Amino acid sequence: MDNINDFSQFRRQSKKGIIVIYLNLIYKFLKAFWILLFLFIQKFSKITQETLLYIYLGVAVLLIFLMIRAYLIFKNFKFKVEDKHFVLQKGIIKKTNTSIPFDRIQNINFKQNIIQQIINVHEVNVETAGSSKAEISIKALTFKDAKDLKNIVTIINKKQNLKADQIEIEEEKPLLKIGFLSLLKVSLTENHLQSLLLLFALLVGFFQQVNDLFKGLGKKEELSNFISNNTSALKTSVILIISLLVFLSIVAVISSIVRVFLRHFNLTMYLKNNAFEIYQGLTTKNSVVLKKEKVQHITISHNPVKKKLGISFITFKQAVSGKVNKKKDKSIKIVGCESIHITAIKNLLFPKENLNDFNKNKAEPYYRFRLYNRSFIFFIILNLGFYFGIENVNIFWLNIILLPIFVFSIELNYKKRYYYFNDNIIMLARGTVETHKTFLPFFKVQNITLKQNIFQVNRGVADIVFQTASGKVKIPCISFENANKIYNYTLFKIESSSKSWM
């Protein structure tokens, strides 16, 4: 066991941080003004030598300015730990002082992009429950300093009257480790349609930017003619259409594989100091500290293929400020979990709780009726779009394919809507293709709402909405009698529990 460093005096980042800050400033500039670089490359052959000289001088001045700015940011960025507060001073012209109590700190996360991996430094992000992004970001610390800083915040916060030089680091034992084969299973069982739609959205966005560029250059007609000439053959060739669909499907699968490996490579979870430590990432390595007491609820999910392969993923929901609830979802996802991993995590979060031996309570048939009504409205709108937007009447044959899909989806949705609970925890299930089971302790609920619209009153059903610090969890369309019992019991547990939800 090694003692950790003391951060009681103001200190700066590693000097390598100047490189990280400098490159980050260049990246932000290129991201904001990439169109200028595109125009420069396009017009390069037509630019005179004299104009090129001025452009190069301008770029040189800009790079020197950004280097000076990076050095000043580095020099004025100082931090320390004092009286169970994280204290930060920063600013070039406008100086700011920030002091964050340890109790308010949600996470201390590590991150390494490619540049930080090359120069062997770590970025440390300090997040609080009331911020939409990292409140403090230290761009360059050695791994030892980063771990020591994290341990000071997480351990001193729990052990009173303990100084930094008295803290000892516990031996790390992995709770779970997701290997290459497990990640490959995850990749092949992902929602590839989602990947395809994301790729399509990126292509549409890129095309829009290119279209705007050609419009600004007065060459929009040339672009339109080029597209028209190259798509006319596609419209008349069945082989080309099938080939394109196969190609896009392959691209969707490959993009899913790449996305999963980039984000979750070498996924390892530790249990240390009553907190989960999660390490993952390939080109960008991330480390997240997830305190057990700040987990509001967990959701265990799988689809039929994942279930057959014996893997699931777990989503941890953390406390988040109501002001940033829509801006940032404070959730952490662990993929490729086997049943042994799920059991271990449930036992750590909900000790002595038997979560399986309970009767299922299904949603009332009115829930299915409501789903069919909404689908019927959707079909009317869709077919009106076909009628007014597409002249070919053969498009209406598409309903023969869509109708069975919608019926099958509705029946699955209704079948997977159920709940059960014991004295301390309620489990809510939902899903269509995927199945999601959310485990919510009653004492984590901040308030509960019983809702009925005019149609539900006539049917004797109601919705229950649990409001937690990580957002809302809903049970739709259960009998009013059961809803009222859950409502009253939850209020009783909220008022009688002495446990802290944070």
Predicted pLDDT at 355: 67
DSSP string computed for 320-354: --GGGTTT---EEEEEEE-HHHHHHHHHHHSTT--
Predicted pLDDT at 327: 42
- Tell me how far apart the alpha carbons of residues 253 and 195 are, in angstroms, rounded to a whole number: 8
**What element of type H or E holds 197?**
helix 192-216
Q: Phi/psi zone of residue 167: left (φ > 0), alpha (ψ -120 to 50 degrees), beta?
A: beta
Predicted pLDDT at 450: 94
Predicted pLDDT at 326: 44
| Cβ-contact 139, 13 below 8 angstroms | yes
Structure-token pair, residue 251? 């691209």
User: DSSP E strands: which ranges in 227-368?
Assistant: 268-272, 275-280, 285-291, 295-302, 312-318, 331-337, 361-362
Residue 271's φ and ψ, nearest 5 degrees, are: -110, 115
Predicted pLDDT at 228: 64
Q: Which residue has the tokens 């598409």?
A: 398
Predicted pLDDT at 110: 87
**What element of type H or E holds 483?**
helix 480-496
Q: How far is CA 432 from CA 197, 245, 252, 281, 378, in A?
A: 19, 25, 21, 30, 18
Predicted pLDDT at 18: 92
Q: Which residue has the tokens 């390892």?
A: 268
Q: Phi/psi zone of residue 274: left (φ > 0), alpha (ψ -120 to 50 degrees), beta?
A: left
Using CA atoms of 135, 284, 191, 318 in order, give the dihedral in degrees to the nearest 10.
-30
Q: Of 77, 95, 99, 78, whose CA–CA distance to 87 is shortest?
A: 99
| Cβ-contact 1, 170 below 8 angstroms | yes
pLDDT in tens, the chain (502 residues): 456 677 888 889 999 999 999 999 998 888 887 777 766 766 666 777 888 888 889 889 999 999 999 999 999 999 988 888 889 999 888 888 888 888 778 778 888 888 888 998 999 988 876 555 667 889 999 888 888 888 787 766 555 544 545 445 555 678 889 989 999 999 988 877 777 777 777 777 777 766 666 666 666 676 666 666 665 555 555 566 677 778 888 888 888 898 899 999 999 999 887 788 899 998 888 888 888 888 899 999 999 999 999 999 999 998 765 444 444 456 789 999 999 999 999 988 988 777 665 678 999 999 999 999 999 998 888 888 877 777 667 777 888 888 898 999 999 999 999 999 888 899 999 999 899 999 999 999 999 999 999 999 999 999 999 999 888 999 999 999 999 999 999 999 988 887 776 6
Predicted pLDDT at 31: 82
| Cβ-contact 382, 401 below 8 angstroms | no
Predicted pLDDT at 229: 63
Q: Which residue has the tokens 């610090």?
A: 469
Q: Of 169, 10, 163, 154, whose CA–CA distance to 79 is shortest?
A: 10
Residue 287's φ and ψ, nearest 5 degrees, are: -130, 130
Predicted pLDDT at 132: 55
Using CA atoms of 480, 485, 488, 494 in order, give the dihedral in degrees to the nearest 10.
-120
- Tell me how far apart the alpha carbons of residues 211 and 201 are, in angstroms, rounded to a whole number: 15
Bridge partners (DSSP) of residue 474 are 465
Predicted pLDDT at 284: 87
- Tell me how far apart the alpha carbons of residues 107 and 128 are, in angstroms, rounded to a whole number: 7
Neighbours of 470 (CB within 10 A): 22
